[in-house]
Amino acid sequence: MNKQLVAITLASFFTLFILTGCQEAPTVEENPKTDISQNGKQNDLKPKTQKAVKIVKQRTTARTWSEIKASGQINAVKLDWKLESALPRAGSTGAYHTTLLQSFADSRGLKVKWHRVSNLADMFKKLSAFEVDIIPRHLTITTNRLDKYSFTYPLLRDKEVVIAKSGKQDFDEDDDNNISLPIGSAYIDSVSKQYPHWQVNIIEDHVSSQEVADSVVAGLTKYTVIDGFALETLKQYRDDIQSVFTLPKAINLAWAVNLNNDTFLHELNEFISVHHVMQMIEPERTIDFKQLRKDKLPLRVITRNSPETYFLWRGELLGFEYELMRKFADIHKVKLVIVVADSYEEMLELLAEGKGDIIAAGLSRTKARTKQITKAKLATSIRYNRVKEQLVAHQDSAQINEATDLKGRTITIRKSSSFWATAQRLATDFGANIVLANEDIATEILIAQVADKEIDLTIADSNLIAIESSFRSQIITPLTFKEDVPYSYLVRQNNPQLLAYLNEFVRKYYRGTFYNVVKNKYFYNERLQKSHNKYRLVSGSILSPYDDIVRLHVQEYNFDWRLIVSQMYQESRFDPLASNSTGAFGLMQMLPRTAAELGVKDLKDPEQAIASGVQYLDWTRDRFSKDLPVQEQIFFSLASYNAGYGHVKDAQRLARQLGLRSDRWFNNVEKAMLLLQRRQYYNKARFGYVRGREPVNYVRDIHQRYLSYIRITD
């Protein structure tokens, strides 16, 4: 960043505080934090500076099952607007409880209304105050808690483990060990009763297992305690922590409701009993589909973490392969578990060893692969998708009209790619130069390198090219080598029932309405390719048709209204009906689920859409350290708004590992964000793959436009 830009940047953020901080802040009594209204009327979306007039009578008893049924909804609580969870690789994460409670509600014809709190202690306070009916998360059943709350049948039986940084650790249970434990956690009771001679240090803030592990690795904490299941989840993507001791007493983990709420507890326990939802780390198994359903076991689908198959975006699990497999699981009423593999070879191993049941990863059916699959005693389904095999070039590169034009041109490709044979033929027959790409570099990264002129050419399938083209207008496909490359599912040969059901699923849905909607969602959406020139600005002009609404809703949150307008342009080009393929809608491109968390129903209403966007941006900002300079808080919150808070935290963690500053966005964390597109980095990240270039460009574009808006309006 040059000196002039630095000066403009500092001046702009100084202006932000002058404009938004010149009025005296209202007192807490004058400015109660009220929820956004859900009635859809514009005049009910008011800034929080107005007094709340609605008086709600506090309950003195828990709602019975009859009352819950009559209301049509279950009131549940989750942590800190938990709109996203770690990418499930195998087993379960926090999303497990949301899904399970929703299944219970669906089976009883109810909806779930989520309440949000910042820590575990506040969860129990809300339950004790009868503001919610249930805490649906893994809670250890302790003697102290049983005096105050009732618990469902256990959802998991586990043991607690002491963890430390990887490496040599001399842990002796008889020593006076210093153990750091989160405030309000059941681990405090476990340690105090089983090992009273250990020295317990209380961590005042609520922290997740990921954050506790980070503290251990950073040397801030030597030892801490987590659940064994949480450790297994962490070990799926990180190798810098280890278990050094297992507490001998097993624990039961369950959901909590209020004491004596027997009718509600009975319904929950009946659901848990019928569905056998006890979690466990599954052993290897190779049973066929009918037995799997009879035993009420989950269907384990092996796939890759990539933009074509399975990824996490703004807390939503997405991907073409994921959505098809979710439909298949729903049809057959089985739970879906995703198992993420890092390579084609690992996928085959996991399937052959009985650690998964299906491979659904956009695998093309080639002659070479068919021989390998047969040798491994695996079988392929009928074709469920077909793609073209195409050459990818930069639009400014030398023209390619036919294969003979490839003489002397360089094609970069992985040897494990299904396109390797085509590349070898082009080298032999037409004089192309072949460069081996590192096996950790995914095809989408190679396409990005072509777009950035880092490499000359690569080969990819038409589906992935369609995804990348929506973000990279510079790439072209001058040659198509194969028109009809089939994709197939893989199963074991000794699972003929599963293969038959998969083939039936393909015959019924292939090219049908559901299939086409899902395919268009990921591969043919053109929203991001459109050019918007409607609002050309001149000095003194209004910035958008919604300037006044934005000014109204930023007052409380100390945002410069011009920053929000810049973000709104980036999100929707000021189109209140804008939508994208992942379901985001409105001026601020909110997901309906996220909007519902914020109390907003009508994203078509500009005032509600803007209010929800500002509130969500404020929430993302609040989750970062207040020690960050104000401009860095803005950059990090914008990146989180675009890609999701978890991906940004992954990028901060990676930045520290690379020796970059984790408290600076430009030229530091943004570099790490770009690396999270590469397998060697994202397979060790909690939230997995992210299209890193998107949040990087998002922050830069909004920032530059914001600076322009300041010049125009000053």
DSSP for 254-293? EEEEETT-HHHHHHHHHHHHHHT--B--PPP----HHHHH
- Active-site option among 308, 444, 571, 607: 571
* pLDDT for res 90: 66
DSSP three-state, residue 87: coil
CATH no. for 3-25+33-39+46-50+533-713:
1.10.530.10
DSSP three-state, residue 714: coil
* pLDDT for res 624: 85
Residue-wise pLDDT for 209-261, tens only, equals 888 888 899 888 899 999 888 888 888 888 899 999 999 998 888 999 999 89
Stretch 71-96: mean pLDDT: 72
Residue-wise pLDDT for 659-679, tens only, equals 999 999 999 999 999 999 888
Phi, psi of 503 (to 5 degrees): -65, -40
Say if strands 378-380 and 475-476 run parallel, antiparallel, or are unpaired: unpaired
Domain 3-25+33-39+46-50+533-713 identical in fold to domain 156-252: no
> Among candidates 116, 120, 82, which has minimal Cα distance to 204?
120
Query: pLDDT at residue 38 above 50?
Result: no
Structure tokens at 349: 């191993």
DSSP three-state, residue 356: coil
Which of 151-160, 396-405, 504-513 bottoms out in mean pLDDT, i.e. has the lowest? 151-160
Residue-wise pLDDT for 561-580, tens only, equals 999 999 999 999 899 999 87
Encoded amino acid at 216, one letter: V
Q: CA 17: distance to chain centroid? A: 33
Superfamily of domain 156-252: Periplasmic binding protein-like II (3.40.190.10)
346-352 contact pairs (CB < 8 A, 24+): 347/302, 347/303, 347/304, 347/490, 348/372, 348/373, 348/376, 348/378, 348/490, 350/302, 351/302, 351/378, 351/490, 351/491, 351/492, 352/376, 352/377, 352/378, 352/492
Are 1 and 666 contacting, i.e. CB atoms less than 8 angstroms apart?
yes
Residue-wise pLDDT for 611-636, tens only, equals 999 999 998 998 887 788 889 999 99
- Partnered with residue 576 across adjacent β-strands are none
The class of domain 289-384+490-523 in CATH terms is alpha beta
Q: Whole-angstrom Cα distance, residue 397 to residue 412?
A: 15
Any catalytic annotation for residue 571? yes
Q: Which residue has the higher pLDDT, 23 or 645?
A: 645
C-alpha distances (whole Å) from 168 to each of 178, 241, 243, 244 are: 17, 11, 11, 10
C-alpha distances (whole Å) from 503 to each of 207, 360, 488, 518, 588 are: 46, 13, 10, 19, 41
Are 387 and 364 contacting, i.e. CB atoms less than 8 angstroms apart?
yes
Query: pLDDT at residue 81 above 50?
Result: yes
Query: pLDDT at residue 528 above 90?
Result: no
Are 553 and 609 contacting, i.e. CB atoms less than 8 angstroms apart?
no
Structure tokens at 318: 């997405």
Q: Whole-angstrom Cα distance, residue 234 to residue 209?
A: 8
Query: pLDDT at residue 532 above 80?
Result: no
C-alpha distances (whole Å) from 524 to each of 362, 519, 625 are: 17, 7, 39
C-alpha distances (whole Å) from 125 to each of 133, 189, 444, 638 are: 12, 19, 47, 32
The class of domain 385-487 in CATH terms is alpha beta
Stretch 528-548: mean pLDDT: 57
Are 603 and 586 contacting, i.e. CB atoms less than 8 angstroms apart?
yes
Delimit the domains of the chain by residue range.
Answer: 3-25+33-39+46-50+533-713, 156-252, 289-384+490-523, 385-487
Q: Which residue has the higher pLDDT, 232 or 471?
A: 232
